[in-house]
């Protein structure tokens, strides 16, 4: 059986995640060598074990016979890409990449807004604009919901618990 030439994106989808883990582990290992021996012992132990585990994961993602063996014993539930996965709560079909990026982008924008202008302006602005733009809700209704959430946060944190809400880098 001749394997079809895999596209770059399929390869990235398959080998990307373990390579990211590998990169994270290597960063920690390199950093660990900067600490005194007693401080780096345990992190290094974990780091090197991780490298072995990640190597096994990479192996299990190849369609070699060794990969097949690793998969059967250590990861039976995850198949090769294209092979249907076993049904699990976390393994269900995912929304398209563009929609995902948009969804994450909204939260990223909100996080940035909070950091820059502070919580009290950012919260109603985010809630209302999301509801209007994404949800196509009426402007009046969106503003009502946005305002009541901001009011609730202000009342409970600032007034009752006397936790000052973050004012943003611009106003600190």
Show the binding pattern over residues 97-116: x = contacts other proteins (CB under 8 A), - = does not.
Answer: --xx-xxx-xxx-xx--xx-
Distance separating alpha carbons of residues 31 and 136, to the nearest angstrom = 48
With binding defined as CB under 8 A, does residue 76 bind other proteins? yes
Among residues 35 and 139, whose Cβ is nearest to other proteins? 35
94: contact with other proteins by CB under 8 A: yes
Examine residue 131 and tell whether it contacts other proteins (CB under 8 A). yes
Which residues, 4 to 63, sit near other proteins by CB under 8 A? 13, 16-18, 21, 24-25, 28, 31-32, 35-36, 38-39, 42-43, 46-47, 49-50, 53-54, 56-57, 60
Size of the site for other proteins (CB under 8 A): 76
């Amino acid at each position: 059986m001749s394997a079809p030439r895999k596209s770059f994106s399929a390869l990235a989808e398959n080998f990307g995640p373990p390579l990211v883990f590998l990169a994270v582990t290597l960063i920690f290992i390199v950093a660990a060598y900067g600490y005194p021996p007693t401080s780096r012992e345990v992190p290094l132990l974990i780091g090197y074990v991780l490298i072995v585990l990640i190597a096994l994961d990479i192996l299990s993602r190849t369609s070699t016979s060794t990969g097949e063996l690793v998969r059967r014993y250590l990861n039976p539930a995850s198949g090769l890409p294209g092979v249907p996965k076993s049904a699990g709560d976390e393994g269900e079909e995912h929304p398209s990449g563009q929609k995902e990026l948009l969804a994450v982008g909204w939260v990223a924008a909100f996080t940035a807004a909070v950091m820059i202008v502070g919580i009290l302006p950012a919260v109603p602005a985010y809630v209302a604009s999301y509801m209007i733009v994404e949800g196509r809700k009426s402007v009046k209704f969106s503003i009502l919901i946005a305002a009541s959430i901001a009011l609730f946060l202000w009342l409970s944190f600032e007034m009752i618990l006397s936790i000052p809400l973050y004012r943003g880098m611009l106003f600190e």
